[in-house]
Amino acid sequence: MDYSTNLTFISLEGHVELEKYRYVYFVICLSVFILIIFCNSVVISVIYANKPLHEPMYIFIAALLSNDLIATVAFYPKLLSDFVSEKQIISQGGCLVQTFCLYTCTGSEFALLSAMAYDRYVSICKPLEYATLVKMSTVKKLLFFCWFVPSCEMGIAVILSYRPLCRFKLNRIYCNSYSVNKLTCGDLTVVNLYGMIVLPLVVCPPVMFVIYSYIRILHVCLKNSKDFRRKALQTCFPHLFIFTTFSVIVCFEVINSRLEGNIPHLFSVIMSIQNLFISPLLNPIMYGLKLQEIWNRIKRMFWKKKTHIFVN
């Protein structure tokens, strides 16, 4: 395709580094894609099908895993297609859609993890007020906020980024805002200023709230019995571990984008692939295995199926 006359397509040059082993990466990524869909769907189905799990904590977990499924479906089909294609190109519109999905799902993930921290904070620190503070109406409002606000913020960012391109080679395997903006023509002051304002708003409040929540939770745990601390740890550990891991992944992705060209390209590309499957794969495993109520119902679900098979 002639990029000098058609300004709507971008070449994803990150695949050049993976060319030699692209079919190996295809098999690995396809396996991970199937595993992500399966694991997340199982946990979501278990929560949906069991009325005792229709509580705020489990509803937030289902929302978090649904957010991971959206992000996975938005990225993996294109990535898998590129591994087996001769040319790895994406339209400018498709690139902006990828960017929108990447940042919206990231913002929603932070917001959902923050909402889950609020749920744990009230449950442990204010148990007598839990039914009043975490009503179903409150849960619905929090979920709406977690998805609507990031969508609006990223929608504006995409509109600001939509401008003619002067360069058509992206040194990555998928699009992100910082790299795409470097391809555009003209002054980027407004776009960069908006990014500098929105990024702290998306990341800082959730991080600060989660830290505050766990400081309060720790304070309450230290004043209670060992059995109380054990139960609190059982419900809080998956969330805290996932939040820490996700924050590290986001930090690395930001640094990776900003230092493009200053770190080995192959290392940068491989880490970009890993960033796409760590959280979506880790979340259902942590919640499915660590939260006993979910794990027991998963075992029951598959055990029943096995029993029916043998009976028939």
Residue 173: CATH number of its domain: 1.20.1070.10
Q: Give the containing element (helix H, strand E) for 188.
A: none
8 A C-beta contact, residue 179 and residue 170: yes
Q: Which residue has the tokens 């940042």?
A: 103
Order of strands across the sheet with 9-12? 89-91, 9-12, 169-170
* pTM for the structure as a whole: 0.87
Helix residue ranges, H only, 2-135: 22-49, 56-83, 92-125, 130-133
pLDDT mean over 225-245: 85
- Quote the number of domains for the chain: 1
d(CA 158, CA 98): 10
Among 14-23, 39-48, 286-295, the range with the most confident prediction by mean pLDDT is: 39-48
- Residue 46's domain comprises 9-302
| 312 found inside a domain | no
| 2 found inside a domain | no
Q: Inform me whether the pLDDT recorded for 114 exceeds 90.
A: yes
| 129 found inside a domain | yes
Quote the pLDDT of residue 265.
Answer: 67
| 307 found inside a domain | no
Q: Which residues pair with 90 in a beta bridge?
A: 10
